[in-house]
Chain A
Amino acid sequence: GENVEQHPSTLSVQEGDSAVIKCTYSDSASNYFPWYKQELGKGPQLIIDIRSNVGEKKDQRIAVTLNKTAKHFSLHITETQPEDSAVYFCAASKGQGGGSYIPTFGRGTSLIVHP
């Protein structure tokens, strides 16, 4: 099955700095890569996603890049703010039974943004 590795497990930055979280996946058939943010006491929230036919996607301060050949993808957050502090999960998935996309998650990165 799919295996997703995520690094680093903890990332501490100063407000205004950039943060980068990296993930690798093992199944070359995976073609959908969502990123989730989980705040304390809440469920994961989708913040950005990318499909395998695209190399990069941006949404304001957040961007994701995908390298299909190397089987890795990264989350970039610019101008970090204290409210960006949370656990971030990457995931990789492909179509399953019934056309569903069932994600395999990385172990998460705890991002701490210091004011």
Chain B
Amino acid sequence: GAVVSQHPSRVICKSGTSVKIECRSLDFQATTMFWYRQFPKQSLMLMATSNEGSKATYEQGVEKDKFLINHASLTLSTLTVTSAHPEDSSFYICSAREGEKLFFGSGTQLSVL
């Protein structure tokens, strides 16, 4: 079945630094990928839709300058959390669609100290 690979699985960084998270579709092409954020014991909230070859579409309330999304190829989308602060600590999950199914990456636990 289709697989979405996400790296890293866990990252700890200092406040003010930037962190890049990669999301790859391993055996299919994904013109669109989605980035979600999940706080502890809460549901997933869509942050943005990543579109191959064009600008990402951000959900209301998500700062596009803080969460930079690049979708340079049909198999790779990246999310960069710029100037991370402790309130950005969260579980970030990407997903990509193949046919009728949405597949999710394994998630990235970001902890900002």
A and B assemble together: no
Which B residues contact A (CB, under 8 angstroms)? none
